[in-house]
Structure 1
Amino acid sequence: MTKPPLTLYLAAPRGFCAGVDRAIKIVEMALHKWGAPVFVRHEIVHNKVVVDTLREKGAVFVETLDQVPNDRPVIFSAHGVPKAVPAEARRRDMVFVDATCPLVSKVHIEAERHHANGLQMVMIGHAGHPETLGTMGQLPPGEVLLVETVDDVAGLEPRDADKLAFITQTTLSVDDTAHIVAALKARFPAIVGPHKEDICYATTNRQEAVKAMAPDCDAMLVVGAPNSSNSQRLVEVGTRAGCPYAQLVQRASDIDWRALDGIRSVGVTAGASAPEVLVNEVIDAFRARYDVTAQLVETAVETVEFKVPRVLREPA
């Protein structure tokens, strides 16, 4: 039977960013240096396949330090942790490795600098997300006010409207954040912004690639996890940029083929914590059903690399 034709637009860049790549390497190098088990506080990155693969190698994922024996190393996830966590690890004389993405750490340093200058922080982020909790936890309670939407700005009650600064979660929608920043500046003209954009290069680049291909796509698939903020944002960006249907899938088995009935073009991208093997799995699933013509949509070339912590580069 003749397969129907399909144009498959492949976004570039997509998938692993430098921070995710570094975090996974940190767990693998820790297992090599100290042997199993190595404990990881929270999922190292938000992707089930990555977490399951590391678990098979000897990583144990926990949510609190209370679950970690004092004589085993613990790794803090790429999303960052509140200051109280490494402080507790030091108090217990634990060996720990911080896998916080350097671009998240940059936001932490920013918040501390503004706090030292007497400014109260406003954080644009998602309530309950590990990165938001980690960033807010860099300062004492009450020093960081959280806003998620433009409407939240109207309800802010800072100590002093003339002594404010704002920071953002690194994985937000660029366009949504711009609207919130505009609302903050309109209400608090003296508010201080980051020296350089907090939303990371990888989030921005993946959203730009989606915007470029969305108008040509009948449908779009974002390979990523439901708890991955940057993956969820790619679905939203694709829809807003003109794609009639966008779906988040963890892997090929999640594709809703009925929803794709009659399509002639599909865009495929992946969140920053989704491995390329899952993208290839999705491509193969389309090739099995369609006569596929693949087309790369490249909007940026990424060359960023982050070093792993020194403790892992030293012999055991």
Structure 2
Amino acid sequence: MPPLTIYLAAPRGFCAGVDRAIKIVEMALEKWGAPVYVRHEIVHNKYVVDGLRDKGAIFVEELDECPLDRPVIFSAHGVPKSVPAAAEARQMLYVDATCPLVSKVHIEAERHHGNGLQMVMIGHAGHPETIGTMGQLPDGEVLLVETPADVATLSPRDPEQLAYITQTTLSVDDTAEIVAALNARFPRIVGPHKEDICYATTNRQEAVKAVAPMVDALLVIGAPNSSNSKRLVEVGSRAGCAYSQLVQRAAEIDWRAIDGISSLAITAGASAPEILIEEVVDAFKARYDVTVQIIETAQENVEFKVPRVLRSATA
């Protein structure tokens, strides 16, 4: 078999927010029994969602698809304020699995709004996290930008009274360009007290930047609807890797496209479990004489508590 060096980027895979969200569904099933309803995919990963579905979770897109007598969990991406308000109006039992780092952005937006500032959100239109964050404030109070070009077309209520926030899973470099455009056009715009892009997104992108120039190909394990996973592919391409691709599992590897490679980097988005990384490595071991090396650029020891309702004794 031909030799192949596989560089495993670290950190990779699950972040603390994803880990917490999955735990919330599992503990809810343990406490209240099946079924437990989950509004939107708890995290963007088919393997994870299918595994929870097998345990008794039912995934729906809207609250009105849930019966009144079963618990409902809100996904890690966060929800507009109208969703918990509707759940309370219907007297439903709900658990909010919003990542605490997304909640931080929600709180920030409300604080700025309370100070009379209109918000500019840097994010991807239609992404659940963007919808949830924009839904923290009244209509018209959050203006969305996706590119530096969008900044030129903004029509704020008062250019002197603006603040910006960002989605937590964006490209660090792309976001810096948009922030520069905002600062150039609106010199008085207020930025976050602490970076909104989360530690896990930043760390995974830095690991890819370190490994991408060293290899013939980069595989990012993640879902096609996962923002942070798609950004890793883009970061890999920009960092000099000629072939940078997203795959959900080993079955999606395009073997012909990487024929003849001698070095490969593997990473995974923040909602991809380690078992899928092992599956991909095993698929290469079946075809190559593999040597595995780990390239670690940061260590993570973040952990978030689950909500108090689940920490109390199980029913």
TM-score (norm 1): 0.99
Instruction: Give yes or no for the alignment of 1:295 onto 2:293.
Output: yes
Pairing partner for 2:47 from 46, 49, 71? 49
Aligned to 1:258: 256
Question: 1: CA distance between counterparts of 2:245 and 2:301?
Answer: 29
Pairing partner for 2:177 from 179, 201, 205? 179
Question: 2: CA distance between counterparts of 1:74 and 1:54?
Answer: 14
Question: 2: CA distance between counterparts of 1:161 and 1:14?
Answer: 40
Structure 1 ranges of 4+ moved more than 2 A: none
Q: How does 1:74-85 map to 2 (within 5 A)?
A: 74-85=72-83
Pairing partner for 1:11 from 9, 15, 23? 9
Q: How does 1:157-172 map to 2 (within 5 A)?
A: 157-172=155-170
Aligned to 1:239: 237
- Residue-by-residue CA offset, 1:221-265 (whole Å, 9 max, x unaligned): 000000000000000000000000101000000000000011110
Residue aligned with 1:11, SS? strand
Identity over aligned residues, as a percent? 81
Aligned to 2:138: 140
Q: How does 1:180-199 map to 2 (within 5 A)?
A: 180-199=178-197
Question: 2: CA distance between counterparts of 1:313 and 1:172?
Answer: 32
Q: How does 1:88-107 map to 2 (within 5 A)?
A: 88-107=86-105
Q: Which amino acid letter does the alignment assign opposite residue 78 of structure 1?
A: A
Aligned to 2:23: 25
Question: 2: CA distance between counterparts of 1:290 and 1:56?
Answer: 34
Question: 2: CA distance between counterparts of 1:201 and 1:223?
Answer: 19
Instruction: Give yes or no for the alignment of 1:221 onto 2:219.
Output: yes
Q: Which amino acid letter does the alignment assign opposite residue 308 of structure 1?
A: V
Q: How does 1:59-74 map to 2 (within 5 A)?
A: 59-74=57-72
Q: How does 1:271-290 map to 2 (within 5 A)?
A: 271-290=269-288
Question: 1: CA distance between counterparts of 2:260 and 2:63?
Answer: 51
Pairing partner for 2:148 from 140, 147, 150? 150
Residue aligned with 2:257, SS? helix
Q: CA deviation at 1:314?
A: 1.0
- Residue-by-residue CA offset, 1:10-65 (whole Å, 9 max, x unaligned): 00000000000000000000000000000000000000000000000000000011
CA RMSD of aligned residues (A): 0.3
Pairing partner for 2:198 from 197, 200, 214? 200
- Residue-by-residue CA offset, 1:155-200 (whole Å, 9 max, x unaligned): 0000000000000000000000000000000000000000000000
Unmatched tracts of structure 2, length 5 or more = none
Pairing partner for 1:310 from 292, 308, 311? 308
- Residue-by-residue CA offset, 1:114-142 (whole Å, 9 max, x unaligned): 00000000000000000000000000000
Residue aligned with 2:37, SS? strand
Q: Which amino acid letter does the alignment assign opposite residue 74 of structure 1?
A: V
Question: 1: CA distance between counterparts of 2:122 and 2:5?
Answer: 38
Unmatched tracts of structure 1, length 5 or more = none
Question: 1: CA distance between counterparts of 2:187 and 2:264?
Answer: 44
Residue aligned with 2:256, SS? helix
- Residue-by-residue CA offset, 1:74-116 (whole Å, 9 max, x unaligned): 0000000000000000001100000000000000000000000
Q: Which amino acid letter does the alignment assign opposite residue 16 of structure 1?
A: F
Question: 1: CA distance between counterparts of 2:94 and 2:73?
Answer: 6
Q: Which amino acid letter does the alignment assign opposite residue 300 of structure 2?
A: E
